[in-house]
Amino acid sequence: MLQLKYKEIPEHTRKFMKKAIDSDYDYYDYAVNKIKELFPSQKVHILNSANSCIFTITEALPEPILVPDEGGWNGLQRSAKILNKQVQEISTSNGIINTENLSKYFENNDVGSLYITSLSAYTAEQPVKEIYELCNLYDVIFILDISGSMGDEKLSNTEYADIQVSSTGSPKIVNIENGGFINNITQKIKLNNHLLKTFKADNITCAGIYENIDYAEQTYNKTLKANTYLKKQLINKLKDDKIHNIIHENEYGLNVIITAESKSKAKKLSYNIRTQLSITKNKSIITTGPNYNRLKQPCICIETKNLDSSSLTIDNMDKLVEIIINATKE
């Protein structure tokens, strides 16, 4: 049985958040200024959840709103449905947008805005620079979700988006268990002040973001390194397996996606792996597809991003590989 620790609020951040309970300091302003230092912008808003951020952004976006056909985050579609806003999907290659296809789509369709996650399905990088250049060319508002890439110099670069949005919930790079922020970089759209006030984050959440966001790069790089090692080992072990293939073999992110024969086989594989894992708080590091937020095909996703930094060791990754390979043979 492999013992693993699920990601939780770091102890130093937890202590800082406790101090905010009785503090007279306005940590909202402190956290906003800290975010601006790391992600330069004039307008940053911290809200009580990522879904609140997505809802507020969606309310202001020009239609139709374009999203990838898989590998994104369905929170925008849910918000758009409530707000009666039109959403369109563009075909992708396992979640990755082809910029030539995107250019043709913009040429042949009226598009108001485009929303993507910087890491498609948390498993591969989107070509964010090229996508932003196309959005500028066709006057499309580009919203980039950097929840999985805070700390990455390219994927969270403010030069490549009109608006950045990020979750600071669990289990994210900045892990406060709630909250999120909007970075309205170019200010091409005006956000609803009533929604911003209604969803504004409390002082404790803001204190947590202020304290924890400085560690984003460290957390991101450690998770990326562990997941890259895990992925390479699995690619090597599964090279002769005709059923279980690694999606985006040459791309690296914060999880590993392995194909399965069917939805039921994916669930069985997931179960067989989970029985060999003991994870704190009865949590899981495995999701299954078909799933819009990952891929719409039978698969399992090993969510390395869900693990606490203390569990991201080579020894644990080696043991996890062994468990996964044995499960594929059952």
Indicate if the pLDDT at residue 152 is higher than 90. yes
pLDDT in tens, 204-238: 999 999 999 999 999 999 999 999 999 999 999 99
Whether residue 1 is contained in a domain is answered as: no
Question: 3-class secondary structure for the chain?
Answer: CEEECECCCCHHHHHHHHHHHCCCCCHHHHHHHHHHHHCCCCCEEEECCHHHHHHHHHHHCCCCEEEECCCCCCHHHHHHHHCCCCEEEECCECCECCHHHHHHHHHHCCCCEEEEECEECCCEECCHHHHHHHHHHCCCEEEEECCCCCCCCCCCCHHHCCEEEEECCCCCCCCCCCCEEEEECCCCCCCCHHHHHHCECCHHHHHHHHHHHHHHHHHHHHHHHHHHHHHHHHHHHCCCCCCCCECCCCCCCCCEEEECCCHHHHHHHHHHHHCCEEEHHHCCCEEEECCCCCCCCCEEEECHHHECHHHCCHHHHHHHHHHHHHHHCC
Residue finishing a domain among 157, 182, 214: 214
Examine the fold and report which residue of 214, 238, 264 is the final residue of a domain before the chain moves on: 214
Question: Based on the domain organization, do 53 and 132 belong to the same domain?
Answer: yes
The answer to whether residues 26 and 141 belong to one domain is yes
90 and 221 fall within a common domain: no
CATH code, 299: 3.90.1150.10
pLDDT of the residue at 22: 87
Give the pLDDT confidence score for residue 161 in this predicted structure: 98
- The reply to whether 187 and 222 lie within a common domain is no
Q: Please indicate, yes or no, if residue 50 is contained in any of the structural domains.
A: yes
Whole-number pLDDT of residue 170: 93
Question: Sorting pLDDT into bands at 50, 70 and 90, what band is 69?
Answer: very high
Q: Are residues 64 and 140 in the same domain?
A: yes
Task: Assign residue 204 the CATH number of its domain.
Answer: 3.40.640.10
Say whether both 50 and 134 belong to one domain: yes
Q: How many domains does the chain have?
A: 2
Percent of the chain with pLDDT over 70: 100
Is there a domain that residue 6 lies in? no
Judged against a pLDDT cut of 90, whether residue 180 lies above it is answered with yes
Mean pLDDT of 263-292: 97
The reply to whether 41 and 56 lie within a common domain is yes
Categorize the per-residue pLDDT at 330 as very low, low, confident or very high, splitting at 50, 70 and 90: confident
Same domain, 172 and 224: no
78-109 residue pLDDT tens: 999 999 999 999 999 999 999 999 999 999 99
pLDDT of residue 29: 96
For residue 47, give its domain range.
Answer: 11-214
Say yes or no: 47 and 146 in one domain: yes
* Residue at 26 is within a domain: yes
Identify whether residues 152 and 256 lie together within a single domain: no
The 10s digit of each residue's pLDDT in 112-129 is: 999 999 999 999 999 999
Please, what is the average pLDDT of the chain? 97
- Per-residue pLDDT of 22-32, as tens digits, reads 888 899 999 99
